[in-house]
Amino acid sequence: MKKVTSPINKNQQVITIRGLRKSFDEFDILRGVDLDLFQGENLVVLGRSGTGKSVLIKIISGLLKPDTGQVNVLGCDMNLITPKELNALRLKIGFSFQNSALYDSMTIRENLEFPLARNRRDLSQKEMDRTIEMVLEAVGLSQSINQMPAELSGGQRKRIGIARTLILRPEIMLYDEPTAGLDPITSIEINKLINEVQERFNTSSIIITHDLTCARDTGDRIVMLLDGQFQRQGTFAEVFDTDDERVKAFYNYNFTD
Amino acid sequence: MDPNTSKVKEEKPRQHVLSKRLDRVFGELFNIYAFIVRFFKEAFLPPYEGGEIIKQCYEIGVKSLPLVSLTGFIIGIVFTNQSRVSLAEFGGTSWLPALISVAIVRALAPLVTAIIAAGKVGSQIGAELGSMKVTEQIDAMEVSATNPFRFLVVTRILATTFMIPALMMYMVFIALMGGYVSVHQHEQTSFTTYFIQVFNAVTFLDVFSSLIKSFLFGFTIGVVGCYKGYHSSKGTQGVGKAANTSVVMAMFLIFIEELLSLQIITALR
């Protein structure tokens, strides 16, 4: 079970979602999702592949538009937000992609400098270098600064992906399948890193995963997405203390097979 | 079975397929139009990506120089050798420099440069943006509050628009040098005499119209490559398709533009 790393402010919601619906062609992916993310909380969204977990965080980050429903992120209504306001909001949201999404043609330094140079024009080159060193040290990869993404392992790429999102000091972190495709040892290291990020940078996070070890080790609260809606909610033990066969099957597949 | 009924049954799906295809064609045309409009809107708004434009100019222009040089030189020699045979029958080989220069400046250099660029640069842009889309690098740019359209698309279209005319002028020079090598070898024409004849034959309108054409070809290659890459479907197959259709569509449009511009220039003359 996850150790408490930072205090959660239950009175302050950083994300509020009510009645969110999203469909693609004739497929209803999200069918009335309600969600609150509190300040300082690590919230894990569990669910099988194709249930709309990634769609949910893409709506939160403004990459997709909701069909209906209210999505409020740090006080901004995503249905009414202007492009300028969305850009300002995105500086407060870090998005760690499933495949890291590092820019192939750039070195690690350039990958990290890219968002900084465009959004923090007030910083000098020296300050930028210091910030890059700080985030690389936070993810434990200071020695990789001049390497190309293709030269890194899957776990290292994930770490650099997280470092790139941290460089703008976001208030909210969105992790899309942070342990997908990694060996168990590297997965545990990434889980540890997610908790360290929460503690050190005081972020509120949504972690999308179908890896129960990741959910157990990182989640302060867990919600389970089934049939386009959140069916279970609570701590890891509470979520799986049920007779619902679908939930039990999910647990058994991860831990007993 | 009633023959009328079977006829109706046969016709129905065919109509459906046709209307679906027409929908797709007009939908695609509208999307390309919207893409071009967006390019003009974004190109004039700050912040300007000067560094990236220079980088793309280097990638597109400088890195194409070896291929353009080789092709241009060979075209100059081959075209001169082939033309000599016909002109020799009338005893008109002294007109070779004038013939070569007009053919190269008016038609060969703009068209061959554009086709080389469509193959090399168009496929490169299509594949690069396609793979960036597939690996979510474009989304990553967007969520880090950077406008990916301005950084990736505007810079590449501007680079192709300005580099293709520059490459075309370079190819004119190289092809004329190739022609000179052949003329000098067979007719013992001096360098000065050759170029005096070349400059006497070429008019301002020839050079100007070829430059305008090359700007248009460059813009077309950039727009098609970026559009296909930026909207490529998911998966490695989507990347391959983006690269392939970028080349095919750009070449098709270049030939149509060449034909239309020929009509306009002939009318102006």
What pLDDT is attached to residue B45? 86
Domain count, chain B: 2
**Which residues of chain B have a pLDDT value below 70?**
1-15
Q: pLDDT tens, A110-124?
A: 999 999 998 888 889
Q: Determine the residue among B143, B146, B149, B151 to mutate to test chain A binding: the one whose Cβ has the most chain A Cβ atoms within 10 Å.
A: B143
Residue A145 lies in a domain: yes
For chain B, counts of helices (H) and of strands (E): 12, 0
- Domain shared by B17 and B123, yes or no: no
Q: Which residue of A has its CA nearest to B48?
A: A118
Report the CATH number at residue A51.
3.40.50.300
Q: Which residue of B has its CA nearest to A116?
A: B144
Q: Which residues of A touch B140 (CB under 8 A)?
A: 95, 97, 101-103, 164
Its domain, for residue B98, covers 50-268
Cβ atoms of residues B109 and B202 within 8 Å = no
Q: pLDDT tens, A67-83?
A: 999 999 999 999 999 98
**Is A101–B137 a contact, with Cβ atoms under 8 angstroms apart?**
yes
- Domain shared by A86 and A132, yes or no: no
The DSSP call for residue A26 is T
Average pLDDT, chain A: 89
What pLDDT is attached to residue A256? 58
The DSSP call for residue B232 is P
Its domain, for residue A75, covers 12-92+171-246
pLDDT at A11 over 90: no
What's this model's pTM, rounded to 2 decimal places?
0.86
Nearby residues of A105 by Cβ (< 8 Å), 6 or more positions away: none
Q: Which residues of A touch B150 (CB under 8 A)?
A: none
Tokens of A132: 């890059």
- Domain shared by A23 and A130, yes or no: no
What pLDDT is attached to residue A157? 93
Residue A79 lies in a domain: yes
CA-CA distances (angstroms) from residue B243 to A182, B76, B120? Answer: 31, 30, 10
Query: Rounded to 5 degrees, what are φ and ψ at B16?
Result: -60, -45
Q: Which residues of B touch A114 (CB under 8 A)?
A: 141, 144, 146
- Domain shared by B85 and B28, yes or no: no
Domain count, chain A: 2
Q: Determine the residue among B139, B144, B146, B236 to mutate to test chain A binding: the one whose Cβ has the most chain A Cβ atoms within 10 Å.
A: B144
Q: Which of B135, B137, B145 sits opposite A91 (nearest CB)?
A: B145
Residue A181 lies in a domain: yes
Cα–Cα distance, B178 to A95 (Å, whole number): 55
- Domain shared by A151 and A64, yes or no: no
- Domain shared by B146 and B164, yes or no: yes
Cβ atoms of residues A236 and A205 within 8 Å = no
- Domain shared by A156 and A40, yes or no: no
What pLDDT is attached to residue A4? 56
At B46 the three-state DSSP class reads coil
Nearby residues of A242 by Cβ (< 8 Å), 6 or more positions away: A232, A248
- Find the farthest-apart pair of alpha carbons in chain B and give their distance in angstroms, rounded: 85
**Is B144–A118 a contact, with Cβ atoms under 8 angstroms apart?**
yes
Within 10 A of A202 (CB to CB), how many other CB atoms are there?
Answer: 13
Q: Which residues of A touch B47 (CB under 8 A)?
A: 118
Nearby residues of A75 by Cβ (< 8 Å), 6 or more positions away: none
Tokens of A117: 């140079």
- Domain shared by B9 and B83, yes or no: no
Q: Is A215 exposed, middle or buried (0-12, 13-18, 19+ CB in 10 A)?
A: buried
pLDDT at A53 over 50: yes
**Is A63–B47 a contact, with Cβ atoms under 8 angstroms apart?**
no
- Domain shared by B184 and B131, yes or no: yes
Q: What's the alpha-carbon Rg for chain B, to the nearest Å?
A: 23
pLDDT at A164 over 70: yes
Residue type, A127: E
The DSSP call for residue A61 is T
Residue A52 lies in a domain: yes
**Is B144–A90 a contact, with Cβ atoms under 8 angstroms apart?**
yes
**Is B135–A99 a contact, with Cβ atoms under 8 angstroms apart?**
yes
The ipTM estimated for the assembled molecules is: 0.88
